[in-house]
Amino acid sequence: MSQPLRLGIAGLGTVGVGVVRILRQQAALLTARTGAKLTISAVSARSKGRDRGVSLSGYAWEDDPVVLAKRDDVDVYVELMGGEDGPAKASVEAAIAAGKHVVTANKAMLALHGQALAEAAEATGVALRYEAAVAGGIPVIKSLMEGLAGNEITRVMGVMNGSCNYILTRMESSGKTYQDIFAEADGLGYLEADPQLDVGGIDAAHKLAILSSIAFGTRVDFDGIQLEGIERVSIDDIRAAADMGYKIKLLGVTEKTGRGLEQRMQPCLVPDTSPLGQLEGGTNMVVIEGDAVGQIVLRGAGAGEGPTASAVLADICDIARGVRGPVFGQPASTLETSTRASSQRPAAYYLRMALVDKPGALAKIATVLGEAGVSIYRMRQYEHDEPSAPVLIVTHKTTRAALDAALDAMDGTGVLAGAPVALRIEEV
């Protein structure tokens, strides 16, 4: 058996405690699988006294994670504090500079500073691994970077924020509004301290930026993501979409097009019979498409103690087995700066509008769409008691520019009884 692999763990929240628990309970199994004894030398967290339900006796305590990261008796620094900057980044940088391998679950840090950290780690020759940063327990980094290494990746899509998917599916099942279900989710502790990270799509976008880099050999470009959260998704749209055979999901999509790298995180419609459409509650799903493999779908818990700790352990085991290799799948120095696609790839769109109840109103809308070059695939007008008529349209594939032109022109027709809603329908 090889030397023990000595860990220093910073951050003893849910995930950190889960990691400690597995290391203690599955010690024999982990040694059988890695050939090494995995030991904890030291831990660090904000409050030393707190009872975390797991014994920390036998581990040195460090108040300062930077000091922990540099300890002589630490081979792998495990960063589970979170936060894009501050102690997380400082301690990871210190660990790399001190020649320690790093395992982290920190999506924000990687999405914003991934390139610099990868360059540093590769210069020092240490591993920097982050399976837990994307989609919790799903081994998506490993699948994409290693399992599909023979593919030119064409598209990666995912529902990667369980809280948003919970809110959207609960809205549908309960018939309640976004505001009601948001309050319910918040009360259940399902949302980040800053809920905008969840419902604004930022957390999911961090993950998408990381996947983009691996998929396409480009530098992480979080700012290049076209980002829209779920705050404006209404129960009316969820119902209307369901009636047309769709579900609304906060869907991240990254694809390399002739116009550049297109990264978007936005509420989209997907067919209710597709794997993405059938995804309920807090579960995550990532869909990877490659030229050879076709479509691979990965599904599992995207958060929580066990699933996230499972991903952290996978990285630790790989390091124990001697796996190294570039942080984003190819040397950081060879990652290209992506050209950002200036427009979204054409798609079908869902439109919901309320029309004044006058003869010719629908004709005017149809005319305006036609003049903008947007053709109608399906249309439904519902019976109604209100003075305005609810109308749903699914367009044929069109550009967002043509659609926006049509929406502008509709504004001038005088037949709209309110602002129309337009949502992209993603082909999945």
Residue numbers at the binding site for a second copy (CB under 8 A): 18, 22, 26, 29-30, 32-35, 131, 137-139, 142-143, 146-152, 217, 273, 275, 278, 290-301, 304, 306-307, 309-314, 316-318, 321-325, 329-331, 334
Query: What is the spatial distance between Cα 131 and Cα 332, in angstroms, rounded to a whole number?
Result: 18
Burial of 304-341, coded b for 16+ CB within 10 Å and e otherwise, reads: bbebbbbbbbbbbbbbbeeeeebbbbbebeebeebeeb
Instruction: Tell me how far, at minimum, the Cβ of 297 lies from a second copy, in Å.
Output: 4
The token pair that represents 167 in the structure block? 């809110």
Q: Which residues are catalytic?
A: 207
User: Smallest distance, Å, CB 30 to a second copy?
Assistant: 7
- Residue 246 CA: distances (Å) to CA of 270, 271, 272, 344: 5, 4, 5, 21
Minimum CB separation of residue 408 from a second copy in Å reads 41
What minimum distance in Å lies between the beta carbon of 119 and a second copy? 16
CB of 27 to a second copy, least distance (A): 11
d(CA 131, CA 309): 10
Report d(CA 13, CA 193) in Å as an integer: 14
What is the β-pairing status of strands 5-10 and 76-79? Answer: parallel
Nearer residue to a second copy within complex by CB, 4 or 306: 306
Give bridge partners of residue 268 from the DSSP assignment: 249, 424
Q: In this complex, which beta carbon is closest to a second copy, that of residue 299 or of residue 340?
A: 299
- Of 169, 241, 172, which is closest to residue 425 (Cα–Cα)? 241
Q: Which is nearer to a second copy, 179 or 273 (CB)?
A: 273
As a whole number of angstroms, the distance between CA 120 and CA 379 comes to 55
CA-nearest of 52, 102, 47 to 80 is: 102
Nearer to a second copy, 324 or 340 (CB): 324
Of residues 21 and 400, the one with the C-beta less far from a second copy: 21
Find out whether 192 is annotated in a ligand binding site. yes
Q: Which residue ranges make up the annotated binding site?
A: 107, 192
